[in-house]
Structure 1
Amino acid sequence: MKKIITALCLSACFSPIAFASSPDFPHIEVSGKGEVFVVPDMAQFSVDVVENKATAEKAKQAADKAVTGFLARLEVQGVKRENINSGNIRLTPEYRYPKGKKPELVGYKAIRNITVTVLDLNKLNGYLDKALGDGINRINHIELKTSKEKEYIEAARLEAIKDANDKATSLAKGFGTAIKGVWKISYHNNYSQPVLMKSMRMDMASDASESYQDTQMVISDSVSVVYRLKD
């Protein structure tokens, strides 16, 4: 009689993948998962420059001026231009809607988004203080990351492989048999979970530094394996 053992990885956040075809020899299907907890060492934050003026030209000029001033403040602090993405400008008309009357054009809104990559997390709060100035009164988001993501993904992958091997060996032994080899491997995409901080207003920036000092992010990986059992 053919022996088939199926193991469910209870710690995983998904059900084991159904394999397209089942081998005609004794086998066991196992899912393994690996996780690495990492302290972030870099960050990325985004701000919007918003200007409302009577004409589209004046709105654009005001937004460009605010962006130029912000970039100059960052440059003084040592931020390289390649770590700044100033984005494209968006110009939209602004209307007033009097009751019972046609909409009235009252001006134009210019919006420019700027994303800054911070390679030294210790400098993040200083950059945030400099970000909030003329034309910039809100930081959209702060995303904490790690500069060694590839290294940690590899570590999580090795943990997932070890987890699958340990489960398969233990289950096979419990049913009075042993692993003979690997028949099929299905690899799942790795998952890096950045830490997203809340957006903040100008009066909140000074309190931001305490919120990310001991934060951890999770990098995980998973794999499904069909092992051949001894006959």
Structure 2
Amino acid sequence: MKKIISVLCLSAFLTPVAMAASPDFPHLEVSGKGEVFVVPDMAQFSVDVVESKATAEKAKQAADKAVTGFLARLEVQGVKRENINSGNIRLTPEYRYPKGKKPELVGYKATRNITVTVMDLNKLNGYLDKALGEGINRINHIELKTSKEKQYIEAARLEAIKDANEKAASLAKGFGTSVKGVWKVSYHNNYSQPVLMRSMAMDSAANTAESYQDNQMVISDSVSVVYRLN
């Protein structure tokens, strides 16, 4: 765990409007921040199934066939259905634009996006190998995550509280006084920064097999506190 010193905000620098809402007793405003660096143990990746055919029906059938094959390959590898999200199909016409002539309809493109959550990071590369097949030639992105996010958020929150308390005590001591207690706490939303891997074409999956390890994601939390001073 690593604490990051944040900027101190003293009430002496508040605007007149803010001062009107400030407490009428000696006080100190401090922001605390905590960060936890985590080694990911799970991942999420998405692929696009894209098929172009002469008719919308044939494009849809081709896309559905590719998706069915992909889901079957994942099932063989032990991926649970609840960890797969296959988006709705999108059909768009495709035109040719001859010079000086009206656009000509040449077919339809069917697109489906599938997102897969990988609970065991060690199996990620195997899933990617299975993903790249008929109808799927590109992996959009790979996002490394942690299965213990709630636990690490709590740890980051405690670090933020500790950071605020330590800074308040130090500042109060420096001005010849001490902290009497907490008057107000403003909690900020926590922030989880997953590791985003680069997109991959069909022939590049093998080259990234070792790149999922030794990555770190950052989970941070922050709090603003108004302390009473003696």
Q: Distance in 1 between matches of 2:33 and 2:10?
A: 11
| Paired amino acid for 1:32 | G
Preserved CA contact (<8 Å) 1:29 1:227:
yes
Please show how residues 91-170 of structure 1 align to structure 2 within 5 Å. 91-170=91-170
- After superposition, what is the alpha-carbon deviation per residue over 1:173-214, rounded to whole angstroms, capped at 9, x for unaligned? 111100000010000000000111111001110112211210
Identity of aligned residues (%): 85
Alpha-carbon shift at residue 12 of structure 1 (Å): 4.0
Counterpart position of 1:182: 182
How far apart are residue 16 of structure 1 and its match? 8.9
Q: What are the ranges of 5 or more consecutive residues in structure 2 without an aligned counterpart? A: none
Deviations 1:131-169 (A, max 9, x none): 000000000000000000000000000000000000000
- For 1:24, the equivalent position in structure 2 comes to 24
Instruction: Point out where structure 1 has 5 or more consecutive residues left out of the alignment.
Output: 1-8
Task: Measure the CA separation in 2 of the matches of 1:97 and 1:12.
Answer: 57
TM-score, normalization: structure 1? 0.92
SS in 2 for 1:190: strand
Distance, in Å, in 1 between the alignment partners of 2:64 and 2:136 is: 12
Count of matched residue positions in the alignment of Structure 1 and Structure 2: 222
> Which residue is equivalent to 1:59?
59
- Are the aligned partners of 1:145 and 1:195 in contact in 2 as well (CA < 8 Å)? yes
> Structure 1 pair 166/86, CA: closer, same or farther in 2 (3 Å)?
same
CA distance in 2, matches of 1:79, 1:10: 39
Question: CA contact under 8 A between 1:188 and 1:222: conserved in structure 2?
Answer: yes
The answer to whether the 8 A contact 1:16-1:224 is kept is no
| Alpha carbons 2:88, 2:112 under 8 Å: kept | yes
Superposition deviation, residue 13 in structure 1? 8.5
Q: Secondary structure at the match of 1:48?
A: strand
Q: Would the alpha carbon gap of residues 220 and 14 (structure 1) be closer, same or farther in structure 2, given more than 3 Å must change? A: farther
Runs ≥4 in structure 1, deviation > 2 angstroms? 9-20
CA–CA distance in 2 between the matches of 1:14 and 1:110?
Answer: 54
* CA RMSD between the two structures: 1.9
SS of the equivalent of 1:35 reads strand
State the Cα deviation string for residues 82-135 of structure 1 (Å, max 9, x = none): 100111000000000011100000000000100000000000000000000000
Q: Which amino acid aligns with 1:147?
A: S
Partner of 1:109, secondary structure, is: strand
Tell me, what secondary structure is at the counterpart of 2:78?
Answer: coil
Q: Evaluate the alpha carbon distance shift between residue 137 and residue 155 of structure 1 in structure 2; reply closer, same or farther with a 3 A threshold.
A: same
Partner of 1:214: 214
TM-score normalised according to structure 2 size: 0.93
2:173 aligned partner: 173
**Partner-residue secondary structure (3-state), 1:115:** strand
1:16 and 1:31 in contact (8 A); partners too: no
